[in-house]
Structure formats: C-alpha cells, structure tokens
Amino acid sequence: MRNAIPILQKYEPLLTTSAGSCINLLEHLGLELLQQGYVLAKLTYTAMGHLIVDPLIYDYEYRIGKYTHKAIFPVSSARSANYEFSLQFECRSFCFYDSPIIDYLLSKLPKLPPSILDLSGEIHTFTSGPYRLYPALSSYKPEDDIFSLQSRPLYIQSRSQFNKFLEERNLRPREYICLHMRSHGFKSDSLHQSEYILRNTPISDLTLAIDFLYDHQIKVVRVGGVHMPPLYHHNVVDLAVEPLSFPFADYLLTENSLFNLYDSSGAAFFSVLSRARTYLYNLAPPMMMGWGPDDMCIFQKLINIDSGSVVSLSDIYKPYGPATTCSAVSWERMGYTSLRNTPVEILGLCMKALLLSNASKENYTRLISSIRKNTLSIRLNELVPSFSFGHGFSGMVDPSFLSGLSHKFFL
C-alpha cells in the first residue's frame, strides 16, 4: 500500500472541503490508484459480517483471476461495528485504509464513479451473492489467516484478557458453546431492517436447546449487541447485555468453543473465520447449506401465501424466483412468506451438533459419511443448482430436518 497512501492522503483534504465536486474527485482518485495497481472498493460496510465476508469473496475471486488489482477498502474505525477488524492492514489481495471521509462518501453516494468497484451492490444481490459466497468460504483455510489475526499485537494482548474472562466466569475451552439470535433490536442495517425482519428469532425458540445443553453440562455464552433483549437463564452467560471490552472478543469466544449455534446473521462469520464448527438455523433461502466444511444447517421454509403450501426447490430456483433475494418485502410481492424453524427443529440441530462434537475422530468420519449418503441429502444436492454453492462445497443440512419436509419440497 506504500504507493497508494500518498495518493489517498492527497485527495482526503480535497474531499473534506469539496462541495459539489466530490464525484469528480473520487473518479480521479480511483483512476490514479488503478494506474498504481490498486482498485478503490466499497464494502457492504454497515453490516457487521461484511467486514469479513466481502474481503473473503474478493480474495477468492482475486486468486482465480476475476480481479487483477489489489483492492483498497476504505473504512472508518471510529464508526465500525467491529473496530478490531477495521484497523489498517494489508494482505495479498486487499488492504484496509482508515479514512472516515472516503468511507462516508462511498456509503452515502447513490452511484459511484466507474473507477470505483462497488462490491456492496453485487454481494447483496442474491443472484450473485451466496453464489459467490460459498466457493469463497469453502476455499478458505485456517492457515491462510487472511486478516493476519494471529500476528496482530491487539490479538496477542487480548488472549490474556480472554483467559482471565474465562477464569472469572468459570468457563473452560471446549466446555461452552456460543449462541446468537437476531432480534427486533438488530441495528446493523437500519435502512433495510423491514426487509430482513423474518430472519429474527424470539428467545423462546431457543429454550429447548438451552435446557438440553444444561442437562449435558454445556454452558451457553450468548453473543450479540447491547441492543438485543436480555436472555435470562441459569445456564446462560449473556454477553449481549454485558459486552466484553477487549478486542477480538467474538473471535476468541468462537475459536475456543465446543461449537457455535448461530442464526442467519453476519456475526456467524466470526465462527467461520475461526474455523469452529458452526451450526446455523433459520437460514433464509437460497442460503440452504452450512457455511464451512462439514458445517450443518437447517433453513426456513418458503410458503405460498395463496395456497399455504411449502414452496418446492424447483420453484425456489426458478428464473426470477425467490432465490434471487432474501428480502421479505420482495418475497411478499412475489406471493411468498417464510416460516422460521421451530424450537424442536433447533433442538434437533443442537443435538446433532453435540453428538458430532463429542465423537471420536473415527466415529465423526463415519457419522459425516452417513449424513452425506442420506437419500434426502443426495436429493437436495441434486436439485440445488450447482452454480449456487460452488463445486466441492462440503456444508450440509441436518437429515432429520430434511425428513420432516414434504416429498413435494423435493420436486
């Protein structure tokens, strides 16, 4: 980034004082960076998971030759939901540059100049979103350490604070799980909140799973923002109302857990990035596979509003059908709504997660193999278009959940 910083620093004061000329200035900034081998790129930045997933997608597509320039992602650590991930750093395919003014302008302008790469629109458009996300996730390996986490001084310092936190709360690595649920207080993307409200999960839907984990002496650490409603349960350490103050807390929690139970939220990417087992519930079609290798999920059912019937896979993936979006508003225009997973379905996923987590290496391999050979799992993989998740992707769906679906779903 050495050649790029003088260019960025030259334009920042001009952009700060410009009135109506900021589009032209950004265009010239983008062109000068392109000449130096960089491309100025916009993240889907307001959503917490996109500080992770957008660069992961870019890194994967850079490696396969779709992009040839190193991306510069302007961020503002002052307003970031994930301060530690937004700090300035550089890796093989992209770098973060802390610039409140450039970040502000890219987030506010309705249309960006041609010299700037707008990843936010592409990734939130589901015809090119999950269909680009899954190959990127399946190619990611822990040793890649794309975000240079293991070598960051903040991360190294935070490990001792994290160990002290575990001791104070009488928690031990691999003897707790992390739990996340979206709620009506979720504020990461307020402009589109009404469109994604069907992804929220009431606390009552998790009670069976939490009681089950208590019976098996597994503590639950609930993660999330301070705007989430509190979760009162004797087996829960609720960090949504008692946030941790040290950096990389979410990453360290997921990295040291037995497994993690997350709903359809960008927060789950902390778990995926740490390569912990990540079990997902209430995924919204077309996100109908686990996100990491051997990760398992259950998903919401789409319902035809007129007939009340469950929408089949062929109808989900039909041209211009519901798989082009996960927006409740768009689904309603098409004549669909969604039905979230039941407490019993979530409990079933949690039971499967504990079974796999406690299995020996030999039994684990056997269990995974039997899940993949399940008739309905094979049928699901046959019916979901191959472009949706990328070849060789190894995420799964809980076969017990699949067996509860009508045979018409698999048409």
- Per residue of the chain (411 residues), what is the pLDDT tens digit? 889 999 999 999 999 887 668 899 999 999 999 999 999 999 876 566 778 888 888 998 999 999 999 999 998 888 777 778 888 888 889 999 999 999 989 988 888 999 999 887 655 554 455 667 777 777 787 677 888 888 888 888 899 999 999 999 999 999 999 999 887 665 544 555 566 677 788 899 999 999 999 999 999 999 987 778 888 999 999 998 887 888 888 899 999 999 999 998 878 888 888 888 999 999 887 778 887 778 899 999 999 999 999 999 889 888 888 887 777 788 889 999 999 999 999 999 999 999 999 999 899 999 999 988 889 888 887 777 665 655 455 678 999 999 999 888 988
| Beta-strand runs (E) in 248-395 | 260-262, 278-283, 296-299, 301-304, 336-339
Distance CA 392, CA 374 (A): 17
| Distance (Å) of CA 411 to CA 69, 289, 398 | 43, 18, 19
| Distance (Å) of CA 114 to CA 27, 67, 341 | 7, 15, 42
* pTM of the predicted structure, to 2 decimals: 0.89
* Residue 31 near residue 112, CB atoms below 8 Å: no
